[in-house]
Amino acid sequence: MEEIDRRIVTLLAQDGRMSFTDLARETGLSVSAVHQRVRRLEKRGVVRGYAAIIDHDAVGLPLTAFVSIKPIDPAAPDDAPDRLSHLRAIEACHSVAGDESYILKVRVASPVALEDLLQQIRASANVSTRTTVVLSTPYEHRVPHLAGEPDPAPDITQD
Amino acid sequence: MEEIDRRIVTLLAQDGRMSFTDLARETGLSVSAVHQRVRRLEKRGVVRGYAAIIDHDAVGLPLTAFVSIKPIDPAAPDDAPDRLSHLRAIEACHSVAGDESYILKVRVASPVALEDLLQQIRASANVSTRTTVVLSTPYEHRVPHLAGEPDPAPDITQD
DNA sequence: TATGAAAGCGTTATTCA
DNA sequence: TGAATAACGCTTTCATA
User: Nearest nucleotide by C1' from A30 CA?
Assistant: C3
In a domain, B125, yes or no: yes
Classify the C-alpha dihedral A15-A20-A24-A25 as positive or negative.
Answer: negative
In a domain, B152, yes or no: no
In a domain, B93, yes or no: yes
Residues A112, A79 share a domain: yes
End-to-end CA distance of chain B: 29
Residues B80, B18 share a domain: no
Residues B117, B73 share a domain: yes
A103 touches strand C (CB under 7 A): no
CATH number at residue B9: 1.10.10.10
In a domain, A142, yes or no: no
pLDDT score at A1: 67
A32 touches strand C (CB under 7 A): yes
In a domain, A154, yes or no: no
Residues B34, B69 share a domain: no
In a domain, B144, yes or no: no
Residues B67, B129 share a domain: yes
Residues B69, B38 share a domain: no
B19-74 pLDDT per residue, tens:
999 999 999 999 999 999 999 999 999 999 999 999 999 999 999 999 999 999 99
- Output the distance from B6 CA to C5 C1' rounded to whole Å: 42
- A3 touches A15 (CB < 8 A): no
CATH number at residue A97: 3.30.70.920
Residues A125, A94 share a domain: yes
Mean pLDDT, chain B, whole residue set: 92
Of A146, A155, A148, which Cα lies nearest the Cα of A47? Answer: A146
Q: Is the pLDDT of residue A159 over 50?
A: no
A98-133 pLDDT per residue, tens:
999 999 999 999 999 999 999 999 999 999 999 999
- Output the distance from B18 CA to D8 C1' rounded to whole Å: 20
In a domain, A157, yes or no: no
- Cα B54 to chain center, whole Å? 14
Q: Is the pLDDT of residue B155 over 50?
A: no
Interface contact flag, A97 B132, Cβ < 8 Å: yes
Residues A67, A123 share a domain: yes
Report the relative pairing of strands B63-71 and A102-108 from DSSP bridges: unpaired
- State how many domains chain B has: 2
pLDDT band at B149 (very low <50, low <70, confident <90, very high): very low
Interface contact flag, A59 B150, Cβ < 8 Å: yes
Residues B110, B74 share a domain: yes
Name the burial class of residue A33, with classes exposed (0-12), middle (13-18) and buried (19+) by CB atoms within 10 angstroms of its CB: middle
Q: How far is B157 from chain A (nearest CA, A)?
A: 23
Share of chain B above pLDDT 70, in %: 92
DSSP per-residue string spanning B30-99: -HHHHHHHHHHHHHTTSEEEEEEEE-TTTTT--EEEEEEEEESSTTS---HHHHHTT-TTEEEEEEESSS
Q: Is the pLDDT of residue B147 over 90?
A: no
A1-37 pLDDT per residue, tens:
689 999 999 999 999 999 999 999 999 999 999 999 9
In a domain, A124, yes or no: yes
pTM (predicted TM-score): 0.91
Classify the C-alpha dihedral B39-B23-A105-A107 as positive or negative.
Answer: positive
Q: Domain range for residue B123?
A: 63-133
